[in-house]
């Protein structure tokens, strides 16, 4: 781990927050521009190296038999509407939490690697823990069409095609009292 890149301003004192009704993926917003997701960008020095993305925080779940499923998505760039992004990794079976109306700590970590020769970024592993219960069974998707270097087209150098990542939680039970705070969102290589 060499150079951490963090989402601007997100920390315990100033968390990014999601919640409310609905059971779709709720992407954590950027603190500076809340109409955009809190996002982390892949950078050129990561090429060929393993890199780690971490997110952590706390949540309050309400409703009967609450469940939660962490989801990492990417876009070129990622946006706040989860349906416009592509899912990289999602917990295969949502984690069931025994008590409704309770607060829980949570953390997510994923390790990835990719290079320009293949044009892909692959997931090596993903793991999630909530209230001391760990889960490592994720459905992962290969990211394709990546260009770390940029390409020449008509004599012009086009910029690299590198994804940005957005993280969200899928509340399994719709309840107005569901909330989650993200205190850490960083990528390291």
pLDDT along the chain (189 residues), means of 10: 83 96 93 93 89 96 87 88 90 84 94 92 96 92 86 72 91 92 96
- Domain total in the chain: 1
Residue 33: predicted pLDDT: 92
Residue 1: predicted pLDDT: 56
Residue 152: predicted pLDDT: 66
Residue 108: predicted pLDDT: 97
Residue 24: predicted pLDDT: 87
Please choose, from the candidates 171, 174, 156, 185, the residue with its C-alpha nearest in 3D space to the C-alpha of residue 67. Answer: 171
What pTM was estimated for this model as a whole? 0.91
Peptide bond into 181 cis (omega under 30): no
* Cβ 7 vs Cβ 167: under 8 Å: no
Tokens, residue 161: 């095609």
Name every residue whose Cβ is closer than 8 Å to that of residue 31 and which is 6 or more positions away in sequence.
7, 8, 9, 10, 14, 16, 38
Q: Which domain holds residue 158?
A: 5-188
> What is the 3-state secondary structure of 112-167?
EEEECCCCEEEEEEEEEEECCEEECCEEECCECCCECCCEEECCEEECCECCEEEE
Residue 43: predicted pLDDT: 85
DSSP secondary structure of 27-49: EPBPSSSTTSB-EEE--GGGTTS
Q: Which residues of 134-148 are buried (b: 16+ CB within 10 A; e: fewer)?
A: ebeebebbebeebeb
Residue 153: predicted pLDDT: 65
Classified as helix, coil or strand, 83 is helix
């Amino acid at each position: 781990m060499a150079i951490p890149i963090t989402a601007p301003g997100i920390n315990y004192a100033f968390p990014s927050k999601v919640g409310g009704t609905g059971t779709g993926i709720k992407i954590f917003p950027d603190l500076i521009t809340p109409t955009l997701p809190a996002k982390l960008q892949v950078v050129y020095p990561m090429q060929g190296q393993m890199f780690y993305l971490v997110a952590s925080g706390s949540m309050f779940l309400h409703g009967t038999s609450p469940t939660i499923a962490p989801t990492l998505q990417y876009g070129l760039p990622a946006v706040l509407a989860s349906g416009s992004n592509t899912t990289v990794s999602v917990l295969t079976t949502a984690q069931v939490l025994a008590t409704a109306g309770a607060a829980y700590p949570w953390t997510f970590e994923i390790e990835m690697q990719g290079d320009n020769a293949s044009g892909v970024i692959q997931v090596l592993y993903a793991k999630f823990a909530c209230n001391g219960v760990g889960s490592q069974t994720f459905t992962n998707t290969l990211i394709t069409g990546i260009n770390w270097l940029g390409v020449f087209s008509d004599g012009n150098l086009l910029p690299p095609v590198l994804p940005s990542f957005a993280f969200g939680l899928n509340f399994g039970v719709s309840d107005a009292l569901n909330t989650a705070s993200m205190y850490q969102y960083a990528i390291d290589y």
